Amino acid sequence: MVQALADEQQRQRYFGRLAAAPTHTFFALTEPAKGSAALELETTLTPAPGGGWLLNGAKCYIGNGARAQLGVVFCRRAPGPWGIEAVLLDTSAPGFSGELLPTVGLRGARISRLRFQDVAVAPEDLLGADRSPSRRGLYGATYILYRFRPGIAAMALGCAQAACDYLRTHRATLPRQDRHRLDGVLDRIAAVRHRTYAVAAAVDAGVVDVAGIGAVKARAARVAEDATRLVAELLGPASLIEHPWLEKTYRDVRAFELMEGTTNLHTMAAFQSLLRSRTALQPAAQRAVDGAARH
Ligand SMILES: Cc1cc2nc3c(=O)[nH]c(=O)nc-3n(C[C@H](O)[C@H](O)[C@H](O)COP(=O)(O)OP(=O)(O)OC[C@H]3O[C@@H](n4cnc5c(N)ncnc54)[C@H](O)[C@@H]3O)c2cc1C
């Protein structure tokens, strides 16, 4: 977010602090009642009587939130998508509180709930204040989320591959039918990895294929779940007790479905993109049909 939106002074302040001492940071978009519907976020940024702003609201499922010293909070200054802003927040500010949520997986991610009660936000903490509303806030969120998704896909694929490797280490031979099932999952991992490299390379080249990125993230999350489930099954009925590493991975990979948008949302985005491309093709296709009819 800071790379994408901050002005020079904000960058220097932020990276200077990171360089000075080990610092945990967070990215707070999701709210208790607004997860997938992030555009409807309700945390408010209102003018403070003496100048600057006041931040009020709550965030949920924020990685590192309760132990961070610094973070970015998305909030609403006005109605509509362009009324969304991103502010830099120091967690020592009065009115900020964070609590660790109890989770059964990904304990190291320190998933937290955050609350803001009249937290003062100085004008210089509004990220990208010199940009137009359509080039900050929401723009920054999407800029980051699209670029993070291939990374989430890569993590999910790494877990899927590791689970399959674990099985091969602990079961040197498998009955033929089970070998075929494992090969099927390994083929899917290879296919999604290939697509993940492709969308990531496109991002590096400046092309953001939103639907393609969402598709690899959704596919990778699914194959990670399927791989851990298959490996647990093939290692026998007590596998999750006898293999603590597998049990941890089996729990952790379920988070990939939720991080950075759920499969339902990515499926809808892919479908809408398909519809748009079909609509865009229609006039040309119609001309071809008309031309053929004339001849
Ligand atoms: C490990 C982990 C780390 C996270 N870290 C962060 C973080 O650092 N910062 C942050 O801001 N957020 C973070 N999140 C939150 C994450 O982005 C949300 O969990 C995610 O956006 C889903 O929101 P939700 O949990 O409220 O689920 P909901 O949005 O309530 O969805 C619940 C179910 O309803 C479905 N659904 C919702 N809307 C629709 C629709 N319109 N059509 C069809 N189906 C729909 C979803 O697909 C899902 O199956 C993290 C989550 C996890 C699991």
* CATH number for position 184: 1.20.140.10
Residues in CB range of 158: below 8 A, 6 or more apart: none
Per-residue pLDDT band for 105 (boundaries 50, 70, 90) equals confident
Its sign, for the CA torsion 186, 191, 197, 200, is: negative
For residues 144 and 4, is the Cβ–Cβ distance under 8 A? yes
- CB of 103 closer than 6 A to ligand 1? no
Per-residue pLDDT band for 286 (boundaries 50, 70, 90) equals low
Per-residue pLDDT band for 291 (boundaries 50, 70, 90) equals low
- Asked whether residue 61 is assigned to any structural domain, the reply reads yes
For residues 222 and 263, is the Cβ–Cβ distance under 8 A? yes
For residues 31 and 60, is the Cβ–Cβ distance under 8 A? yes
- Asked whether residue 286 is assigned to any structural domain, the reply reads no
- Looking at the fold, whether 172 and 216 belong to one and the same domain comes out as yes
- CB of 253 closer than 6 A to ligand 1? no
Percent of the chain with pLDDT over 70: 95
The pLDDT score that the predictor gives to residue 28 is 97
- Asked whether residue 288 is assigned to any structural domain, the reply reads no
Name the residue among 116, 129, 134, 177 with its Cα closest to residue 9.
129
Per-residue pLDDT band for 243 (boundaries 50, 70, 90) equals very high
270-285 average pLDDT score: 77
The pLDDT score that the predictor gives to residue 18 is 95
Per-residue pLDDT band for 238 (boundaries 50, 70, 90) equals very high
81-107 average pLDDT score: 95
Name the residue among 72, 37, 106 with its Cα closest to residue 256.
106
- CB of 27 closer than 6 A to ligand 1? yes
The pLDDT score that the predictor gives to residue 85 is 96
- Looking at the fold, whether 102 and 170 belong to one and the same domain comes out as no
The partner residues of 75 in beta bridges, in order of sequence, read 85
- Asked whether residue 290 is assigned to any structural domain, the reply reads no
The pLDDT score that the predictor gives to residue 295 is 47
Distances (CA, A) of 76 to 16, 48, 88, 139: 28, 14, 14, 14
- Asked whether residue 108 is assigned to any structural domain, the reply reads yes
- Looking at the fold, whether 14 and 102 belong to one and the same domain comes out as yes
State the DSSP code for 260.
T
The pLDDT score that the predictor gives to residue 279 is 72
- Looking at the fold, whether 157 and 209 belong to one and the same domain comes out as yes
The pLDDT score that the predictor gives to residue 49 is 93
- Asked whether residue 285 is assigned to any structural domain, the reply reads no
The pLDDT score that the predictor gives to residue 70 is 96
Last residue in a domain, options 132, 152, 187: 132
- Asked whether residue 293 is assigned to any structural domain, the reply reads no
- Looking at the fold, whether 194 and 231 belong to one and the same domain comes out as yes
Tokens 């997860």 locate to 35
- Looking at the fold, whether 166 and 116 belong to one and the same domain comes out as no
The pLDDT score that the predictor gives to residue 282 is 64
Helices 210-234, 263-294: inter-axial angle, 10-degree rounding: 130
Q: Judge whether residue 174 has pLDDT over 70.
A: yes
Per-residue pLDDT band for 277 (boundaries 50, 70, 90) equals confident
Cα–Cα distance measured from residue 100 to residue 67, given in angstroms and rounded to the nearest whole number: 8
- Looking at the fold, whether 128 and 108 belong to one and the same domain comes out as yes
**38 CA distance to ligand 1 centroid (A)?**
9
Cα–Cα distance measured from residue 264 to residue 238, given in angstroms and rounded to the nearest whole number: 33
| CATH code of the domain in which 13 resides | 2.40.110.10
The pLDDT score that the predictor gives to residue 284 is 59
- Residue 6's domain comprises 2-132
Ligand 1 pocket: which of 146, 259, 265, 271 to mutate (most atoms within 8 A of CB):
259
Please give the angle made by the CA atoms of 78, 38 and 79, to the nearest 5 degrees: 15
- Looking at the fold, whether 106 and 23 belong to one and the same domain comes out as yes
- Average pLDDT for the chain: 93
Cα end-to-end span (Å), the chain:
56
- Looking at the fold, whether 187 and 115 belong to one and the same domain comes out as no
State the DSSP code for 172.
S
- Asked whether residue 197 is assigned to any structural domain, the reply reads yes
Which phi and psi angles does 175 have, rounded to 5°? -55, 155
- Looking at the fold, whether 256 and 229 belong to one and the same domain comes out as yes
Query: How many domains are there within the chain?
Result: 2
Nearest CA to ligand 1 atom 1: 255
**259 CA distance to ligand 1 centroid (A)?**
7
